[in-house]
Amino acid sequence: MSKREKWVYALGVSGTVLLIVNLYRILLVLGDEMQQGAIYRIIYFHVPAAFIGWTLFLAALVASALYLWKKDLAFDGFAASAIEVGWVFCSINLVTGMIWGRIIWGIWWTWDPRLTSMFICWLLYGGYIVLRSAIDDAGQRATVSAVLAIFAFADVPIVFMAIRWWRTQHPSPVLETGGLAPEMRLPFWLNVFVFLLIGLAITLVRVDQEDTQRELEGLRRRAF
């Protein structure tokens, strides 16, 4: 078993164990929120999914800049992996947010700055994934992808700041203003940690695939 595989198992298993413990606490121990009832529990999945998505996009930004500097395809592989996994977490954030909004606002979607900027983020990184599959030459693909990853990241701070800059349908920040009850804080941050462990484990699996893909491209050049 390689060192990377050991890390995948360690992160995956510890993430799953912590998740089970935390799910028990979130679903069976914690009481309902006074105004929202049971549906508020979506916060334990909706917000961590966004945090991990943004963290992976930031990691991809750094890796893409490093690729443009060093021209090492390993950085490109890492950036592609982080973006694909981040995009899945971004999708989870959007879907859970829509379900939460349906109950609290009575609508599935509204074009307010937070939701719209997050949707643009999802589209930009979705475009990155599609673009990569459309370019055959590895060097050209890596350069174009790196530039797009850097360009796309410009939207992430806008998404983060949207609820601070504009009056939005989406609630204002609750974490930094103490809006979350003390007993809800530990399970919330534990779930952020769990999502981080799971996100890292999946990213490592995806990085392994990128390495195998590069090995395959090298073998193909020798074979034909």
Q: What is the DSSP string of 113-181?
A: HHHHHHHHHHHHHHHHHHHHHH---HHHHHHHHHHHHHHHHTHHHHHHHHHHHS--SSPPP-TTTT-S-
Q: Could you tell me which stretch among 57-65, 107-115, 178-186, 207-215 binds another protein (CB under 8 A)?
A: 207-215
Pick the closest to residue 32 from 21, 22, 43 (CA basis). 43
* CB of 46 vs another protein, minimal distance in Å: 8
Pick the closest to residue 45 from 104, 95, 103 (CA basis). 95
- At 44, phi and psi to the nearest 5? -70, -10
Q: Is 192 in the site for another protein (CB under 8 A)?
A: no
- Contact pick of 39, 74, 150, 174 for another protein (by CB under 8 A): 39
* CB of 121 vs another protein, minimal distance in Å: 17
Q: Looking only at residues 44 through 103 of this chain, which bind another protein when binding is defined by CB under 8 A?
A: 45-46, 49, 88, 91-92, 95-96, 99-100, 102-103
DSSP state of 189: H
Number of residues that bind another protein (CB under 8 A): 32
The residues that touch another protein, with contacts defined as CB under 8 A, are 36-39, 41-42, 45-46, 49, 88, 91-92, 95-96, 99-100, 102-103, 198, 202, 205-206, 208-209, 212-213, 215-216, 219-220, 222-223
